[in-house]
Amino acid sequence: MDTQRSGSRRKVDGDSAGGISRRAALAGAAGVMASTSGCVREFRSTVNRDDLEPLSLTITTLPADGDRESILLAREIAATLEAVGIDVSIEMRSQEEFRRAVVINHDFDVYVGPHPGGLDPDFLYETLHSLYADEPGWQNPFGFTNLLVDDLLEAQRDADGEQRRDAVEATLEALAIEQPFVPICTPLEHRLVRDDRFDGWADGHLATRTGYLGLEPQTDDSADQLRAVHMDARPSQNLNPLNVEYRDRGTVIELLYDSLAADLVATDGDHSLEPWLADDWEWLDESTLRVSLRPDCTFHDGEALTADDVAFTYRFLEDTALGGSAAPAPAPRYRGRVAAVDDIDVQDETTLELTVGTGQDVGEQALTVPILPEHHWSERAAAATIPGVRIAQGTTDAVVTDNLPPVGSGPFQYHDHTEREHVTLERFDDHFTLRADVALPEPTVDELRVGIDPRSTSAMQLIEADSADVTSSPLESYVIDDVDETDAVGLLESPSWAFYHLGFNARSAPFGNPRFRQVVAQLIDKAWLVEDVFHGYARPIATPVADEWVPDALEWDGADPAMPFLGSNGEVDVDAARTAFEEAGFRYDADGNLRVRQ
Amino acid sequence: MLVEVLTRVVLVVGLLLPIALGLFVGRTRLTTTRTEWRSRIRVAAPAILVLSVVLLASRLIRWGGVDSDIGFHMTETIRQTEGEFVLLFLQVATPELTSYLTAIYIYGYTFLLVFPVIAYFALSDTTMFRRLLTAYAFNYAIGLVFYVLVIAYGPRNVFVEQLLTGSGSSPMIYEHSVEYRYLTREVNQNTNVFPSLHTSLSATVGIFAYLTRSSYPKWFPVAGVIAVSVIISTMYLGLHWGIDVLAGLVLAVLCVALSYQIVGRWSLSELYGQLLESKWF
């Protein structure tokens, strides 16, 4: 207790003028006032008080070479926060480092960046449930803990149909008040495609596996190779479905790995969950799901894919150490989906029974995780080791391996790669989609080459020069106006479920205070940012779910229905912002700095 | 696309080198070099070896990626220190200047580094040759230490609106050219800008050109113009901060001084000769 007090006093002493005068008072007063004990108590009570400190925060974000929009958003937000008396600095991290800092190490104050989001709002369960506040991964990077929100998140998981819709609405409304993170906007994804080489671009969303399957080659040699150009080098460096630093939505992973069910998403965003690796599924009762696999499926290395591999996958994603670590080491992705499955009972080679702890809607979402070959991954349950270095508990080989070459069972198999140049996949001829009796989109090209080109402008050029067929990553918004559509080259617009957001680290003050987060949310002019940063090619949002799930009350109506901007045209009304902070219980000093207890 | 640029670099430099050799070095020196090259290489072997090792290590470490946990993130510090200095170059930006400086940054720089190696090798006294290689090695070795310690992004990542949105006379409207794609690729790999090795190596060559102006009087002004252009191009293209360039210049002076201190201090060939004599005679 004593050491603690002297520690904090030292901090105050070092704090410029206030500290010095107090120290002087201490020296003088010691002699004068020590005579009476009452005075000593009063003296002690006077000097042993810590002052509020001016708020100084760091926005962690991505550099322009990795994600132009994030840094632009961060700069605008920083300028606004500076204007209302907060000291802001911006820290740029590369794609991998950004995710390592934010979602693994939780080493940030506030961050601005993209979130992979989800077509089903259940992604919010893993994103915000307090059970996951300490886990590394996309599960609750914010450290947000609120028992009432936990209840709502669980309720939407347990409900089905209309009831679930209501439960989701209740959850979203609670989140709009709590603002655990501020959803800013969801981009309109634009991609260039060569219409003269392939037809059928409109059938599948190019952020999912369906975009690359079922394409119809239009010329004699288009069937040889589908040439995608990707603006992010990470797929050429790492193809581990469990790795969180190198994955966004995992489009390439979806082509390499199958899941039991697949959300088939069309370019316009329409989607339906269809049996994929599973032949069919059937609910035996409220919580028992019987899944039968398609017969005679194999992995790319020729080994049979059986119900054991499926059971292994769910066990493994729940604990990548397979019980070998002091505490379970859950995978940093798919957390919420895997948690929906309580138990798996393997009936025979191709039949399993899943006991599901949630409603049926969410239970079926659990079928979308990639199925891993047990014979490759069981040995990766070992803790990662580097001689002489202490590794964080729960860091298994599985979450850090680059998994090259990957062995899955998907419609394409790995062929070769060169870091930062390309990763090339070839058609897996034994894939079930190629069977005559299966009516699912199939790989129609011999080879899929994902070339890496970091700039939208040069990616566009490659398409125009007929050196590539499709930009697999969305184009950056600043180039979209420059696109010349021709007969051969088309511009494809598709909705997104990923979104840009500002995340708070609720583990530290004042970001754990919802009143603080609410005021910050009102300092962000989302509609103006969409015009300024995204050139209009995005939609401002008040809630982070896909369009079909947005409740009427949170529909964007020209302004944020929950957290309206305090100002206009990107210009914050400083007086209004100050008043908002003061009404939320915060204080300003005479110089106009916001002071908080940190 | 990388291959394309590399081929172009090889072509351009391959074309420039014979011309430059004829102009600055002259036939006589080249003829003597043809007869004396073995002995010159033997004398310079230690310097050649050291430079090769340093280059290899630097390549390996930079390709492997620098661990961010060791280094300090300095982008914000640099920006706050020098403010918007590099944006001054935008005021003089023209398409012609951009083409010139982009070409200089890629082709001029490569030529500037390669030519003196051959030119000094053509001198009968190998001292300058060895000093140059040693100075190169120091540049890379010291630069590498900073790359690990200082993590910073260049101005193009900070002044996004001004440098990257490509409006008006911004240099980035040339994003389309093959050369430009090469630049962005390089920048993507290398988030470490402090100090500017383009600056320090160019300045090193410039200083050597000055010191050898009695041997190569016509080379000095040419090297000077190219070196200054490279240094300006790093800032004009938004790749480096003024502080990186300043540090690069200091590094250049330091490396040249070090090379003067070290080269000739120990003569391996003499030691070797003594060894031979004691054994055989």
Nearest to B175 among A89, A97, A457 (CB): A457
The Cα A121–Cα A171 span in angstroms is 10
B70 touches chain A (CB under 8 A): no
Q: What are phi and psi of B72, to 5 degrees?
A: -110, 135
Query: Which residues of A fall within a CB distance of 8 Å from B176?
Result: 457-458, 461
**Weakest mean pLDDT among B173-182, B188-197, B219-228:** B173-182
Look at residue B207 and tell me whether its pLDDT is greater than 90. Answer: yes
Contact between A67 and A474 under an 8 Å Cβ cutoff? The reply is no
CB contact under 8 A, A94 and B191: yes
| Closest CA–CA distance from residue B4 to any residue of chain A (Å) | 13
**Residues A382, A325: Cα–Cα separation, whole Å:** 9
> Is domain A190-298+379-489 in CATH 1.20.120, yes or no?
no
3-state per-residue secondary structure call for A340-407: CEEEEEEEECCEEEEEECCCHHHHHHHHHCECCCHHHHHHHHCECCECCECCCCCCEHHHHCCCCCCC
Residues 6+ apart with CB under 8 A from A419: A233, A236, A237
Q: Which of A68, A75, A454 shows the shortest C-beta gap to B188?
A: A454
Distances (CA, A) of B4 to A452, A455, B10, B49, B182: 15, 17, 10, 30, 9
**For residue A478, which residues of chain B lie inside 8 Å, CB to CB?**
165-166
| pLDDT for B65 | 58
Contact residues on chain A for B73, CB-CB shorter than 8 A: 91-93
Q: Which domain holds residue B193?
A: 2-280
- pLDDT of A336 higher than 90: yes
pLDDT band at B69 (very low <50, low <70, confident <90, very high): low
When CB atoms are compared, the residue of B73, B76, B188 closest to A65 is B188
Q: Is the pLDDT of residue B96 over 60?
A: yes
Record: contact B76-A91, CB cut-off 8 A: yes
At residue B173, does pLDDT exceed 90? no
- What's the average model confidence in pLDDT over A377-400? 89
Helix, strand or coil, per DSSP, at residue B256: helix
Model confidence at B143: pLDDT above 60: yes
Token code pair at residue A252: 């390439």
CB contact B3 to A (< 8 Å): no
Contacts of A465 in chain B (CB under 8 A): none
Q: Which ipTM score applies to this complex?
A: 0.73
Who's near B91: CB < 8 A, 6+ residues apart?
none
| CATH number of A54-187+498-596, picked from 1.10.510, 3.10.105, 2.60.120, 3.30.2320 | 3.10.105
B213 interfaces chain A, CB cutoff of 8 Å: no
Domain segments of chain A: what residues?
2-50, 54-187+498-596, 190-298+379-489
The answer on pLDDT for A185 being more than 50 is yes
Tens digits of residue pLDDT in A82-133: 999 999 999 888 888 899 999 999 999 999 999 999 999 999 999 999 999 9
**What percent of chain A lies above the pLDDT cut of 90?**
79
Distance from CA of A226 to the nearest CA of B (A): 18
Helix then strand then coil, % of chain A, to nearest 5: 35, 20, 45
**Range with lowest mean pLDDT among A395-409, A533-547, B11-25:** B11-25
Q: Which residues of chain B does A420 touch, with a Cβ-Cβ cutoff of 8 Å?
A: 185, 188-189
pLDDT for A483: 87
Would you call B1 and A453 a contact, using CB atoms and an 8 Å cutoff? yes
- On the question of a cis peptide bond just before residue A121, with omega within 30 degrees of 0, the verdict is no
Split at pLDDT 50, 70, 90, the class of B7 is confident
Mean pLDDT of the residues in chain A: 91
Among chain B residues, the shortest Cα distance to A467 is held by B1
Assess whether the region A54-187+498-596 and the region A190-298+379-489 belong to the same CATH fold: no
In tens, the pLDDT along A288-315 reads: 999 999 999 999 999 999 999 999 999 9
Least confident of A54-63, A473-482, B109-118, B259-268: B259-268
Quote the pLDDT of residue A310: 97
User: Would the pLDDT of A17 be above 50?
Assistant: no
Q: Do B189 and A420 touch (CB under 8 A)?
A: yes
What is the chain B residue with the closest CA to A105?
A: B69
**Binary contact (B160, A233; C-beta < 8 A):** no
B175 to A455: CB separation less than 8 angstroms, yes or no: yes
> Any bridge partners for residue A471, and if so which?
A229
Q: What is the pTM of this model?
A: 0.85
Q: How many CB pairs under 8 A join A and B?
A: 60
Please report which confidence band the pLDDT of residue A58 belongs to, taking 50, 70 and 90 as the band edges: very high
- Number of domains forming the structure of chain B: 1
Q: In the prediction, which pLDDT does A4 show?
A: 44
* Interchain pair B73, A91: CB under 8 A: yes
